[in-house]
């Protein structure tokens, strides 16, 4: 029956309308998972667990869960590597990033670490030129410079705020940017199960010797559950992000990375009683606005390029 007569919207039209909203909810849950991961890690390192041990537990549980989730006993594509050198480098960058981040979390507020970490879209934009041939124009470079002004406000060089944990956080943002660049480069030729599994198994193997040397057995079943939950939060967040990206365009999903700042501030307050100072909030706001502009600018450029390709 004609939908105009019934007053009902056809099912395929409903799907088109509802899918972006579903993707937005998934994106919000994605970065809530990542915020929960950092909150749990901060708690564990603050009560005495070595950061390297917490990192190892995070990736060990991630590897086990991904093996079960992807049914590794029957998925040959999970073990296939077309570019094993870049896979290895990518697999090493992720645990290094996580270690830097957990070392920073031991002493910094969640709001401080996430503010610095949110510079990764700017760093990726800078690196995409020489590494991927995707050069930024003058407007995006201006936005990058504005964003780094926000970083300077957060870290405040020359003051007591600027300390070794701040450096760890900056290094985490840099190494994660290289990791993201390699992920983008490998995504065209490697399977999703392969990218997920190898990034976790390489980390679990690499971190095992120092983790066993400096770690100690969990003191309670609660600690065991928290250590295992790190992999759950990580894998769930990545899975939701992939699903959201399939339901909606990247331009709609990407800005939700900044919702992680809200989650981190709330969790920092309720779990640790942390209240970010005014300068951290000002710097974080500048970083977010700069990132939003860069993403919007890249979306417009990509749209124009698609239009040219269609006309050509």
Interval 274-306: pLDDT, tens: 888 888 889 888 888 887 787 777 767 766 666
pLDDT over 80 at 260, yes or no: yes
Tell me the C-alpha to C-alpha distance, in Å, between residue 212 and each of 99, 173, 261.
Answer: 15, 26, 33
Statement: the pTM of the whole predicted model exceeds 0.85: no
Tell me the C-alpha to C-alpha distance, in Å, between residue 183 and each of 66, 176, 271.
Answer: 17, 10, 33
Longest CA pairwise span in the chain (Å): 72
Interval 211-246: pLDDT, tens: 999 988 898 999 999 999 998 998 888 778 777 767
pLDDT over 90 at 311, yes or no: no
CA–chain centroid gap for 256, Å, is 11
Interval 5-58: pLDDT, tens: 444 444 444 444 445 678 778 888 988 999 999 999 999 999 999 999 999 999
Q: Which residue has the tokens 């270690």?
A: 99
Residue 28 has which token pair?
Answer: 């919000």
Characterize 212-240 residue by residue with b for buried, 16 or more Cβ atoms within 10 angstroms of its Cβ, and e for exposed: eeebeebeeeebeebbbbbbbbbbbbbbb
pLDDT interval class at 185 (50, 70, 90): confident
Compare 187 and 310 and report the one with higher pLDDT.
187
Most confident of 19-28, 70-79, 139-148, 240-249: 139-148
Instruction: Find out whether 42 and 269 touch, Cβ atoms under 8 Å.
Output: no
């Amino acid at each position: 029956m004609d939908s105009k007569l019934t007053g009902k919207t056809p099912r395929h039209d409903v799907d088109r309308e509802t899918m972006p909203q579903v993707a937005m909810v998934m994106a919000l849950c994605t970065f809530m998972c990542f915020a929960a991961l950092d909150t749990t890690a901060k708690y564990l390192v603050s009560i005495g667990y070595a950061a390297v041990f917490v990192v190892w537990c995070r990736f060990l549980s991630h590897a086990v869960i991904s093996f079960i989730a992807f049914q590794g006993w029957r998925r040959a594509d999970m073990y296939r590597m077309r570019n094993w050198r870049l896979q290895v480098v990518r697999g090493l960058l992720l645990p290094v990033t996580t270690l830097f981040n957990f070392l920073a979390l031991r002493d910094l507020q969640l709001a401080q670490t996430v503010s610095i970490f949110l510079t990764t879209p700017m760093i990726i934009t800078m690196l995409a030129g020489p590494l991927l041939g995707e050069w930024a124009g003058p407007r995006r470079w201006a936005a990058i410079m504005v964003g780094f002004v926000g970083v300077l406000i957060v870290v405040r060089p020359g003051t007591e705020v600027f300390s070794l944990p701040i450096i760890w956080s900056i290094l985490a943002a840099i190494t994660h940017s290289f990791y993201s660049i390699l992920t983008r480069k490998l995504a065209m030729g490697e399977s999703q199960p392969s990218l997920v599994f190898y990034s976790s198994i390489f980390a679990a193997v690499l971190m095992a010797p120092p983790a066993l040397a400096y770690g100690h057995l969990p003191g309670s079943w609660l600690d065991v559950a928290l250590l295992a939950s790190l992999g759950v939060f990580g894998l769930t967040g990545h899975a939701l992000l992939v699903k959201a990206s399939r339901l909606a365009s990247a331009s709609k999903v990407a800005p939700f990375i900044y919702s992680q700042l809200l989650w981190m501030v709330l969790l920092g307050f309720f779990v640790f009683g942390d209240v970010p100072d005014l300068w951290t909030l000002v710097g974080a706001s500048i970083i977010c606005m700069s990132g939003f502009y860069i993403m919007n600018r890249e979306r417009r450029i990509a749209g124009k390029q698609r239009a040219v390709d269609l006309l050509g």
